[in-house]
Structures are given as C-alpha cells and as structure tokens.
Amino acid sequence: MAASLTVVVLAAGLGTRMKSRKAKVLHRAGGRALIEQVLSAAARLTPADRIFAVVGHQSAVVRDLLAPAGIGFIEQAEQKGTGHALMVGRSVLEKLGGWLLVLYGDCPLITADTLNRLVAQQTASPAAATVITTRLDDPTGYGRVIKDDRGRVRAIVEQKAATPEQQAVREINSGIYCFRSDLLWKHIGEIVPENPAREYYLTDIVAIFNHHGHAVEAMLIDDPSEVLGINNRVELAEVDRIFRERAVRRLMLEGVTIEKPETVTIDPQVRIGADTVVEPFAQILGNTEIGEDCRIGACSVVSDSRLGNRVEVGAFTLIGSSHVENDARIGPYARLRFDNQVESGAHIGNFVELKKTRIRKGAKAMHLAYLGDSDIGEEVNVGAGTITCNFDGVKKHRTQIGNGAFVGSNSTLVAPVQIGAGSYVAAGSVITDAVPPDGLGVGRARQVNKEGWARKRRERQASASAE
Ligand code: UD1
Ligand code: MG
C-alpha cells in the first residue's frame, strides 16, 4: 500500500490574509516553517521520492529550505486556485498512479497517525476520495461539507459561495484528501473557475465525482486542533501555542517536570531526560538535547545545544550552540554565545560571557568575565573581571590557560597569549607575554604609600579657607 501512495503538499499561495511579504508556508509555528511541519508528517507515510510540494510564491526560498528533505517540486507560477495547483502537477503525478494524498501547506498540526487512518479508510473503500472533516463551533472561512442522508459527501461549498443554510453547517473541509489517482486525473479538467474569486477550486471535484456516480466519503475527526488552517497571524499564534502544548505534554509524560507549563516555550524536536526540572518562562529551542536530573532556570534560553546529566542552569542564562557536560553549573545571568564546550564539573557564574571557548574539567569563572577564543585548563580559577582581549581590530587571537592556573581578578589577557600550567597571574595585571608554568605574572605598577599625605592635605585646605 505505502509503495503506491504519493503525497502532494500545496504551498504556492502568498497567503494574502497574512499581510506579509513572506510566503505563508515560510512563517513559523512550533519552531519550524509551516511547510516543514506538514512535510515531517508526510515523510512518515511514504518515501521522499513520492512526496511533492507545489511551490510558487518565493519558490526559490521554499526550495532551498526543503532541499535537504529530497522531495520533488512542482512550480505553479501563477496561483489560480487549489484545483489549478494540482493541474500543473499532472505530468509528474499522474504516471505515479495509486493513491494521491493532498495536503495544504497551511495546515501544519496534522499528525502522521491521522493521515495513516485516512489512507487506510480510503484504500479499503470503493469511494473515489475520502476527505478529513471536523466540526467547529465557528466554521467561518472554511469550506462547508454538504452530506446526503447516508453520510456521504455531496459537495464542499466555500464560504463565499455558501447559502445562509449552508453557512449554518458546522462540519468543515480540512483540505486533506486521499484520492483514487485515476479518477482524479480523469475528472480534474472539469473544474471551472466559476466563482467570485475566479479560481479553480479543488473542492469542486467532490460535486463532479458525485455527478459521475462516484462516492466521496468523510473521515470525521473529533479533535479539531489537528486541522486548523492558518490564514492570518491570529491563527498562526494559536497553532504555535498548540504545538508547544503538545511538546510540553509529551515531555511531562516522559518524566520531565515543567513548572507553569503554559509559560515555557519548547520546540517539538527538543529532547529532555527524566527528572529534569524546567522552571517558568524557560525557552528550549531548536535541536537541543538535555540529559537527566538537570535544572533549567527561570527565563533561560537554551538553543541548539547539548547538555549532559545533572547540569544546573541558573535563571536568566543564555546558551546557544554549545556543549555542556555532566555536573556543570552555568549562571544565573551567564551567556554562552556559540561554539563553547563546558566540561564536567566546571562552573560559569553570573555575568560571564563565553564565545568559542573550552572550559576544561572543574575550571571556574564565577563572576563578570569575558572569555573568547580561549582554552581554559582543568581546575583553573578565573577571577572576577578577567577579560581576554581576543580582537586586535583586524583578527581574532587565542588565549590558552594551562591546568591549575590561577588568574587574579581584573586581569586583562592580551591575546595571543599563554598562561602556563600551575602559574599565577597577579590581580589587576595586563598580560601581554606568556607566563611560564608554575611562575607568577605581574603586569601592573607597584603600589606607593605616602605616610600622612591625607592629613597634610586636610590641614592645607583648612588654613586656606580660614584666610
Ligand atoms: C481551503 C479550502 C477550504 C478548506 C480550507 C482548509 C479550497 C478551494 N478551499 O480554503 O474548503 O476549508 O482550505 O484550511 O481548496 N495554494 C496553492 N496554489 C493556489 C492556491 C492555494 O498552492 O493557487 C495553497 C496555499 O499555499 C495553501 C493551500 O493551498 O497552502 C490552501 O489555500 P488557501 O488559499 O489558504 O485556501 P483556504 O481559503 O484556506
Ligand atoms: Mg487556508
């Protein structure tokens, strides 16, 4: 069965009601573009060489985005309606035969399970097509499903063309259909653009099938959220909320504690181990994997990063494209910009920024530091206010600190520079030359004390004002 299933996703429209320069299917919900969400469900049904996207508006951008998926593309240069979108794909799709599953790119919450049920129902039935429908309290904007007394679909009537009686129907067309491919191609040419929009409506095929004596069935689903179509930004936000609710629910059932789940933002592809606690307003984004027994502090943002087990992330911490190993502690108020590796047991404290930096096992930078393009050895202590001067205005340079070194507070390490293993850097130093292993680097003026200087000054001031 799967071998004869072809999927086509209609994604050529601009989406006028989005009031955007960006094509609708490129807008994001649940951490990915709408079209990516639809295709990820499709990919679970049939191999990529039997999946096609009909593209038009910003087709180059859409093609670039989807290229890694290995699917095929059909260009619909002028968008003359959902029926027309299929017509332009005829030469590619017709010869594949079998069953054709049509999805709309603006309906991203559909699950592979529901699509599998649709295909199973259609392939077991003599009907020409089966359409997923649902009942909505407010069906405004959707095509209405008109049924006969045996429950078969006689017609789908678009909002604009519906009579008041038809507008009262609450069962709507999801825009997801499974067709017997031979019958679709036999009759698709009969769709005519006779409606106020002058478009070729795919939905008209239902009445055409009925006219030729072919039945169309409905698969009515209870959960309307799966078929919510996005036509404007209010609906986009609602669909995004549902994606995140799903992700949070899945994680909680897998053993993750999520405090005030309605406040967090977690992308669907995020993985988190059992007994990890996610505090309110945390955002965990992109391709992030977090181990077990971790704590992700309130208002932290972790994106495209890998965290081991028992990692503590304090509140208001930003971690991007970095790797944090077991038992490390980051934050509160820390920023790991990108390409950092924090090894096991290391501590990064408040107002410390890392970029392209490796913090080896057990090293600590607890307060107010910038460590960029650097390699910090095991058990190193980086004092408060330490700055790596990694940029000379033209090029970036590296700072290397050997195992067990102690960098005093407010040190300025002018890269490229090496601090030897086991050495000390005196507080307040400007270090421009290598510090030898087990040595001491002092790079500041010596302190001078002047006995009685303050008292003499006060006396001078007192006699001047008496005059
Ligand atoms: C469509 C259905 C409606 C259904 C609703 C479900 C039709 C005529 N109407 O209405 O019955 O209830 O979806 O969400 O099908 N597209 C193209 N090329 C085109 C036109 C559209 O690729 O020429 C794509 C769009 O990019 C979009 C999808 O088809 O992803 C649906 O188009 P849209 O304009 O949103 O149709 P609706 O008015 O929502
Ligand atoms: Mg739509």
Ligand showing the shortest atom-to-Cα distance for residue 58:
1
Distances (CA, A) of 188 to 33, 130, 208: 30, 16, 9
User: Would residue 464 count as lying in a domain?
Assistant: no
CB of 177 sitting under 6 A from ligand 1: no
Together in a domain, 278 and 368:
yes
**Distance between CA 133 and CA 221 in Å, rounded?**
6
Distance 24 CA to ligand 1 centre (A): 11
Cis preceding-peptide flag for 68 (omega within 30 of 0)? no
Strand partners of residue 324: 307, 342
pLDDT band for 407, please (50, 70, 90 cuts).
Answer: very high
Nearest CA to ligand 1 atom 35: 231
**Among the listed residues 328, 446, 44, the one whose alpha carbon sits nearest the alpha carbon of residue 352:** 328
Together in a domain, 13 and 89:
yes
Q: Give the pLDDT confidence score for residue 171 in this predicted structure.
A: 98
Give the other-Cβ count within 10 Å of 246's Cβ: 16
For residue 141, what are its two tokens?
Answer: 């904007």
* Residue 3 predicted with pLDDT over 70: no
Q: How far is CA 268 from the centre of its chain?
A: 7
**Distance between CA 312 and CA 66 in Å, rounded?**
36
User: Would residue 238 count as lying in a domain?
Assistant: no
Together in a domain, 171 and 318:
no
- Catalytic residue chosen out of the listed positions 27, 211, 347, 367: 367
∠ Cα 258 264 267 (to 5°): 100
pLDDT band for 355, please (50, 70, 90 cuts).
Answer: very high
User: Would residue 452 count as lying in a domain?
Assistant: no
CB of 203 sitting under 6 A from ligand 1: yes
Entry field: residues in the chain: 467
Final residue of a structural domain among 180, 198, 227: 227
pLDDT band for 2, please (50, 70, 90 cuts).
Answer: very low
Average pLDDT over residues 225-232: 94
Give the other-Cβ count within 10 Å of 67's Cβ: 10
Together in a domain, 276 and 344:
yes
Distance 229 CA to ligand 2 centre (A): 5
Together in a domain, 80 and 17:
yes
User: Would residue 233 count as lying in a domain?
Assistant: no
Together in a domain, 77 and 220:
yes
Together in a domain, 9 and 89:
yes
CATH code, 29: 3.90.550.10
pLDDT band for 422, please (50, 70, 90 cuts).
Answer: very high
Final residue of a structural domain among 227, 254, 277: 227
Exposed / middle / buried, residue 234 (Cβ in 10 Å: 0-12, 13-18, 19+): exposed
Together in a domain, 119 and 147:
yes
Ligand showing the shortest atom-to-Cα distance for residue 172:
1
CB of 89 sitting under 6 A from ligand 1: no
Q: Give the pLDDT confidence score for residue 97 in this predicted structure.
A: 94
CB of 231 sitting under 6 A from ligand 1: yes
**Among the listed residues 367, 365, 363, 349, the one whose alpha carbon sits nearest the alpha carbon of residue 312:** 349
pLDDT band for 416, please (50, 70, 90 cuts).
Answer: very high
| Tens digit of each residue's pLDDT (9 = 90 or more) over 79-131 | 999 999 999 999 999 999 999 999 999 999 999 999 999 999 999 999 999 99
Together in a domain, 156 and 52:
yes
Give the other-Cβ count within 10 Å of 255's Cβ: 12
Distance 32 CA to ligand 2 centre (A): 18
At residue 170, what are phi and psi to the nearest 5 degrees? -100, -10
Distance 238 CA to ligand 2 centre (A): 14
Give, as residue ranges, everything with CB less than 5 Å from ion ligand 2.
106, 229, 231
* Residue 241 predicted with pLDDT over 70: yes
| 202 CA closest ligand 1 atom index | 15
What is the pTM for the complete model shown?
0.86
Average pLDDT over residues 248-274: 96
Q: 53 near 11, Cβ under 8 Å?
A: yes
Q: Give the pLDDT confidence score for residue 214 in this predicted structure.
A: 98
| 80 CA closest ligand 1 atom index | 23
Together in a domain, 329 and 190:
no
User: Would residue 309 count as lying in a domain?
Assistant: yes
| Tens digit of each residue's pLDDT (9 = 90 or more) over 357-401 | 999 999 999 999 999 999 999 999 999 999 999 999 999 999 999
User: Would residue 41 count as lying in a domain?
Assistant: yes
**Among the listed residues 52, 44, 72, 71, the one whose alpha carbon sits nearest the alpha carbon of residue 8:** 52
Q: 319 near 304, Cβ under 8 Å?
A: no
Give catalytic status of residue 187 as yes or no. no
Query: Range of 170's domain?
Result: 5-227
Percent of the chain at pLDDT > 90 equals: 97
Distances (CA, A) of 71 to 8, 49, 93, 100, 413: 10, 6, 13, 15, 51
CB of 327 sitting under 6 A from ligand 1: no
Together in a domain, 130 and 59:
yes
State how many domains the chain has.
Answer: 2
* Residue 1 predicted with pLDDT over 60: no
| 143 CA closest ligand 1 atom index | 11
Distances (CA, A) of 42 to 6, 53, 344: 10, 11, 40
* Residue 32 predicted with pLDDT over 90: yes
Distance 374 CA to ligand 2 centre (A): 51
| Tens digit of each residue's pLDDT (9 = 90 or more) over 155-190 | 999 998 999 999 999 999 999 999 999 999 999 999
**Among the listed residues 99, 169, 177, the one whose alpha carbon sits nearest the alpha carbon of residue 131:** 177
Final residue of a structural domain among 179, 202, 227: 227
Ligand showing the shortest atom-to-Cα distance for residue 156:
1
Helices 59-66, 34-42: axis angle to 10 degrees equals 50
Distance 342 CA to ligand 2 centre (A): 46
Q: 297 near 317, Cβ under 8 Å?
A: yes
User: Would residue 406 count as lying in a domain?
Assistant: yes
Together in a domain, 121 and 264:
no
Distances (CA, A) of 314 to 317, 379, 380, 411: 6, 21, 21, 25
Average pLDDT over residues 257-262: 97
Helices 112-123, 34-42: axis angle to 10 degrees equals 50
Q: Give the pLDDT confidence score for residue 467 in this predicted structure.
A: 79
DSSP calls for 429-440: -EE-SPBPTT-E
For residue 148, what are its two tokens?
Answer: 């006969």
Q: Give the pLDDT confidence score for residue 36 in this predicted structure.
A: 96
User: Would residue 190 count as lying in a domain?
Assistant: yes
Ligand showing the shortest atom-to-Cα distance for residue 34:
1
